[in-house]
Amino acid sequence: AQTVTQSQPEMSVQEAETVTLSCTYDTSESDYYLFWYKQPPSRQMILVIRQEAYKQQNATENRFSVNFQKAAKSFSLKISDSQLGDAAMYFCAYRSAGAGGTSYGKLTFGQGTILTVHP
Partner 1 sequence: GAVVSQHPSRVICKSGTSVKIECRSLDFQATTMFWYRQFPKQSLMLMATSNEGSKATYEQGVEKDKFLINHASLTLSTLTVTSAHPEDSSFYICSARRVHEQYFGPGTRLTVT
* Least CB distance to partner 1 at residue 115 (A): 13
Phi, psi (degrees; rounded to nearest 5) at 33? -120, 150
Residue 111 interacting with partner 1 (CB under 8 A): yes
Near partner 1 by CB under 8 A: residue from 53, 68, 75, 112: 112
* Least CB distance to partner 1 at residue 56 (A): 19
Task: State the Cα–Cα distance between residues 59 and 37, nearest whole angstrom.
Answer: 14
Of residues 55 and 106, the one with the C-beta less far from partner 1: 106
**Would you say the C-alpha torsion 72, 55, 1, 6 has a positive or negative sign?**
positive
Burial of 106 (0-12, 13-18, 19+ CB in 10 A): exposed
Q: Are 66 and 51 in contact (CB under 8 A)?
A: yes
Give how many residues touch partner 1 by CB under 8 A: 21
Residue 22 interacting with partner 1 (CB under 8 A): no
* Least CB distance to partner 1 at residue 112 (A): 5
**Binding window for partner 1 (CB under 8 A); candidates: 11-19, 56-64, 74-82, 97-105:** 97-105
**Would you say the C-alpha torsion 20, 25, 29, 35 has a positive or negative sign?**
negative
Near partner 1 by CB under 8 A: residue from 30, 44, 56, 62: 44
